[in-house]
């Protein structure tokens, strides 16, 4: 009789983990301040995950991702804005990352 290997990384009996369930919680907060033709903004958001993972997955039992964003949008005309922002991503299970964005925004 061949037994199928478990698909879960944390098997029953591992302290704190005994089943195939997980829970995710997300949150965010944002502030925007108009300063003449410029709209400055700051944002903080994140995702928290608790529970079991599939075998081979590199997440821990309690993984988190936090993102910090700061940027500005300059009004060129009523319908055109130039936008720039920087984001810091903080991962609990991976190396932190930085992202820079620059773009033109228009309605469509």
pLDDT at 3: 63
pLDDT at 52: 83
pLDDT at 56: 82
pLDDT at 18: 57
pLDDT at 13: 64
Which CA distances in Å does 2 have to 5, 10, 54, 98? 9, 21, 20, 47
pLDDT at 7: 76
Say how far apart CA 67 and CA 45 lie, in whole Å: 5
Instruction: Report the pLDDT averaged over residues 49-60.
Output: 86
Task: State the number of CA atoms in the 13 A half-sphere of 94 facing the CB.
Answer: 12
Domain ranges of the chain: 22-105
Q: How confident is the model at residue 95 (pLDDT cuts 50, 70, 90)?
A: very high
């Amino acid at each position: 009789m061949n037994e199928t290997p478990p698909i879960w990384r944390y098997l029953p009996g591992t302290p704190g983990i005994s089943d195939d369930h997980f829970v995710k919680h997300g949150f965010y907060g944002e502030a925007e301040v108009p300063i003449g033709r410029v709209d400055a903004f700051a944002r903080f958001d994140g995702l928290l995950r608790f529970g079991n993972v599939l075998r081979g997955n590199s997440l821990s039992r309690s993984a988190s991702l936090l993102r910090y964003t700061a940027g500005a949008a300059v009004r060129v005309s009523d319908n055109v804005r130039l936008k720039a922002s920087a984001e810091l991503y903080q991962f609990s299970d991976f190396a932190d990352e930085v992202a820079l964005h620059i773009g033109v925004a228009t309605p469509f």
